[in-house]
Structure 1
Amino acid sequence: MLNRRTLIAAALAAGVMAPPAAQAQGWKEKYPELTFAAIPTENPSVTTDRYSKLADYLSKELGVKVDFRIANDYAAIIEGQRAGNIQIAYYGPASYARALMTGVETEAITRARRNNGSTGYTSVLLVRADSPYRTLEDLKGKTLALVDPNSTSGNNAPRFFLDKKGVKTDSYFGKVFFAGSHENAVLALTQGTADVAANAWYADTDTHVTRMAEKGMLKDAAGKPLTPDDFRVVFRTDLLPGDPYAVLASLPAELKQAIKQAMLDMPKKDAAGFRALSDGKDIEFVPTEAKEYDGVIEMLKFNDRARRTG
């Protein structure tokens, strides 16, 4: 037999358990437009060409406008999510870890699997193949081009793994500077403003060097075209977790799940757009989560302590 209390409880439950269509309509009213931003690993035109396709695909799948924005630097992604202005972000592992360490409520949802089966990559120190530098010992006192303070492969990983070899980056090299992007670090090497450059190495056939060579971007100071064979790796780190795509934790659960599922479906639903993200080097998106980056957080804590103690 129904009483007044039972009827009230049933009415409340009916309000909470809104059908999926009503829930979706609710978040679309609150988020009629979303912002997706990416770290500046390459020059602006290349970055825009890659990730605007993902933004367009998400717009179609989600049914709301998704605008793409290139961050000025890695820290801008962190601060944009902290302020709630960037709902979807493409991070590097270290910038994502830094966001978590500084209280940004962001959730990693996917990362790419490459055609070699790996969902991670390494950091390398590159030199010109026509240089005399073949070992770490040869690089003492030379000029090192890093990428960005919050870059994983372009700063934090080489510092961490070099320290394990007894190399203190800032005192070992004669000069250390940040180039601003992976491409700029490679260009510093080709133009002779750096003797060695830190960079990401996804696979032997997929690096910023190979991508730049395919686009005709590699030339020496005299204008002579260069190929990947004109570079040599003198140091390589252990494997690092791949770059995560992350969403604001405060987004409605239905929206977060919709973004994640759309990305997992992208290789089949928009094969051309997915290929553009990596020049065809990735084969799929796979789920990921914050705990996959615990090791990166420990790496950053180590580097922070080393910087404070000199």
Structure 2
Amino acid sequence: MNKLYAIIPIILAAGIGIGYGIFVAADSGVSTVQTPTKQIVTLAIQPTAQASDIESQAKELEQFLEQKTGYDIQIYVPTSYAGVVEALRFGKADMAFMSAWPSYLAVQKAGATLELAEVREVVIGDTLTAETYYYSYWVVPKDSPYNTLEDLRGKSAAFPSPLSTSGYVTPMKTLVETGLVTVEPGKEIDPKTYFSDVVFAGGYGQAWEALKNKRVDVSIIAGDVSEKLYREVRDGTKVIHEQGPIPSHGVVFSKDMDATAKSKVKAALLELGKDESSKQIMRKLISAIFVGFRETTADQHLGNLQDALNLTGLKYTERV
């Protein structure tokens, strides 16, 4: 009998090890059932602000997704765009919210899949609409003597950022397609071979200020900025060229993500924006013009971007 008593704790311990979740207190005789650990799903968000600011605002989204899926949703913000791609590549993230160019890199370099595109309030021409794409425009002051891109050879230009799909990559594609700039094989396009001066202003608002104050001759505005800024720029300029469609941001999933988990999370994300409260979760966290998500594929959503990168030879380089 003494041998039997000695074996019982071993059996119970083994039971705990294989997931029975039962603990027996030998002295009190009281049994406690442990709560099974929830499956963890990790969501990485491309850094657009201080990581601490994004993470502090992410609680509502975590709670929404946990309620809808039953998983333990953990959101974190890598220090760089490349960090998000690497997180997907090496299994540190199951999924990520990313802009178009980093999404493309995640597909190409991490084997990720882009499966949802962000529907945004955008202005196409003069019409405010909700779409997963938009256009950008070369603009000059209304009193400018220049009316075509050909007129701007040797002039000065302001772009929002060298990493902007709508503000730089797609306009550079236009210069190649129109034959105004030639790209040597294996090299990146150099707009300074066409313009006398090129300024990266730091954003669309700053590029508009440079144009408005006559520091440059031409700039770019895109339909996915705030409607107020878009209308102000369009009212004060004339458009000399339009390009697009340009893809909105997307949701990419790791190649190793559990299929059932992916299906549940996608279904939950597709509910975001169906009511005002869930729309505001994303507007406060990700984009002030968020409307919802729509199912897509990388080929459908990023095809034009891939063409632009192939024509221009541009490489994604960021400062951390």
Q: What TM-score do the two structures reach when normalised by structure 2?
A: 0.64
Conserved 8 A contact 2:43-2:75: yes
User: What is the aligned partner in structure 2 of residue 64 from structure 1?
Assistant: 72
SS at match of 1:237: strand
Distance 1:64 1:157, change over 3 A: same
Conserved 8 A contact 2:279-2:292: no
**Matching residue within 224, 232, 243 for 1:237:** 243
Once the two structures are TM-superposed, the CA of residue 264 in structure 1 deviates from its matched residue by 0.4
Once the two structures are TM-superposed, the CA of residue 188 in structure 1 deviates from its matched residue by 4.4
**Matching residue within 278, 298, 304 for 2:313:** 304
User: What is the aligned partner in structure 1 of residue 99 from structure 2?
Assistant: 92
User: What is the aligned partner in structure 1 of residue 85 from structure 2?
Assistant: 78
Conserved 8 A contact 1:106-1:247: yes
Name segments (4+ residues, structure 1) moved above 6 Å.
Answer: none
* 2:164 corresponds to 1:151: yes
User: What is the aligned partner in structure 2 of residue 220 from structure 1?
Assistant: none
Looking at structure 1, the residues matched to 103 and 309 of structure 2 have their Cα atoms a distance apart, in angstroms, of 11
Mapping of 1:107-146 within 5 angstroms? 107-114=113-120, 116=129, 118-129=131-142, 131-146=144-159
Aligned-residue identity in percent: 24
User: What is the aligned partner in structure 1 of residue 196 from structure 2?
Assistant: 174
**Matching residue within 218, 222, 239 for 1:196:** 218
Once the two structures are TM-superposed, the CA of residue 198 in structure 1 deviates from its matched residue by 3.1
**Matching residue within 237, 259, 262 for 1:256:** 262
Once the two structures are TM-superposed, the CA of residue 48 in structure 1 deviates from its matched residue by 4.5
Q: Computing the radius of gyration over CA atoms, which structure comes out larger, 1 or 2?
A: 2
SS at match of 2:154: coil
User: What is the aligned partner in structure 2 of residue 291 from structure 1?
Assistant: 299
For structure 1, the 5+ residue unaligned runs are 1-24, 215-225
For structure 2, the 5+ residue unaligned runs are 1-35, 122-128, 182-190, 316-320
Deviations 1:12-70 (A, max 9, x none): xxxxxxxxxxxxx78x44x3x62431363xx769x959x84645643554442433537
Mapping of 1:208-219 within 5 angstroms? 208=226, 210-212=227-229
Conserved 8 A contact 1:145-1:176: yes
What one-letter code is carried by the residue in structure 1 that aligns with 2:177? K
SS at match of 1:67: strand
Conserved 8 A contact 2:221-2:233: no
What one-letter code is carried by the residue in structure 1 that aligns with 2:281? G
Looking at structure 1, the residues matched to 78 and 151 of structure 2 have their Cα atoms a distance apart, in angstroms, of 37
Looking at structure 1, the residues matched to 42 and 214 of structure 2 have their Cα atoms a distance apart, in angstroms, of 42
Looking at structure 2, the residues matched to 60 and 180 of structure 1 have their Cα atoms a distance apart, in angstroms, of 38
Deviations 1:101-159 (A, max 9, x none): 3x212111211334635321122223444655443234322332334444321222111
User: What is the aligned partner in structure 2 of residue 105 from structure 1?
Assistant: 111
Deviations 1:168-224 (A, max 9, x none): 23311112243444455445445655443334324xxxx34x35589xxxxxxxxxx
Looking at structure 2, the residues matched to 70 and 213 of structure 1 have their Cα atoms a distance apart, in angstroms, of 31
SS at match of 2:269: helix
Conserved 8 A contact 1:156-1:300: yes
User: What is the aligned partner in structure 2 of residue 271 from structure 1?
Assistant: 279
Deviations 1:73-95 (A, max 9, x none): x5454344334444433333333
Conserved 8 A contact 2:98-2:249: yes
SS at match of 1:239: strand
User: What is the aligned partner in structure 2 of residue 17 from structure 1?
Assistant: none
> Relative to total residues, which structure has the larger helix share, 1 or 2?
1
Q: Over aligned residue pairs, what C-alpha RMSD do you find?
A: 3.8
* 2:44 corresponds to 1:36: yes
